[in-house]
Amino acid sequence: METSYKSVESSNIIISELMLPSHTNFSGKIHGGYILSLLDQIAFACASKFSGHYCVTASVDTVDFLAPIEVGELVTMKASVNYTGKTSMIIGIRVEAENIQTGKVKHCNSSYFTMVAKDSNGNNTAVPGLILKTDNDVRRFYNCIKMISNKKEKQNHEETFDYKSEEAINNLSQYHVKVER
């Protein structure tokens, strides 16, 4: 089977939504859970558009809340495929909020979702390869390779680390914890 390729720009999705009082948390800011829901929606749309298949969220790799979002601000989310594997894609999402009265825009969130393409039977299916046209495309692709490597390293560390050893228990004294076993 011959691999097809698509450009990063062919995956681009932009959505904007006005933040309403019904989206707030108890402190009057836009609820992070609401933003997470929107992030998942745009990641799905981006991955499905790029792959041509129904896609599911395999993992939410990074969600960095950088600035609070206020009621009345226009939130714009920009998503693109930053990395492709055989059946998976890493979607990068940038969230900006604009005060529609002053025009001031702030970067509020950066997120990375791993999405997997599914065929009509629910099995993983191949996705197109990625054409990297710009320095930004290459930078983002390499950042994803590093992210995947760090994720694997962390999983391997968790599998082999002996948290019950005397050394591990004694090492906890440097943290704000009390061990009672």
**pLDDT per position as a tens digit, 44-76:** 999 999 999 999 999 999 999 999 999 999 999
Give per-residue pLDDT as tens, 150-170: 988 888 777 677 888 888 888
Q: Band the pLDDT of 37: cuts 50, 70, 90.
A: very high
Please tell me the predicted confidence (pLDDT) of residue 156. 77
Mean pLDDT, range 176-180, rounded to an integer: 87
**Cβ atoms of 30 and 68 closer than 8 Å:** yes
DSSP percent split of the chain into helix, strand, coil, nearest 5: 35, 35, 30
Residue 143: both structure tokens together: 């950042």
Mean pLDDT, range 10-30, rounded to an integer: 97
Please tell me the predicted confidence (pLDDT) of residue 1. 57
Write down the mean pLDDT value for the chain: 94
> Cα 84–87–88 angle (5° rounding)?
50
Report which secondary-structure segment, H or E, holds 78: strand 73-84
Contacts of 128 (CB under 8 A, 6+ apart): 3, 4, 5, 6, 50, 51, 52, 84
| Cα radius of gyration rounded to whole Å, the chain | 20
Q: Sign of dihedral through CA atoms 109, 113, 119, 123?
A: negative
Give per-residue pLDDT as tens, 101-155: 999 999 999 999 999 999 999 999 999 999 999 999 999 999 999 999 998 888 8
Strand partners, 79: 13, 93
pTM over the 0.85 mark: yes
What domains can you pick out in the chain, each with its CATH number? 5-132 (3.10.129.10)
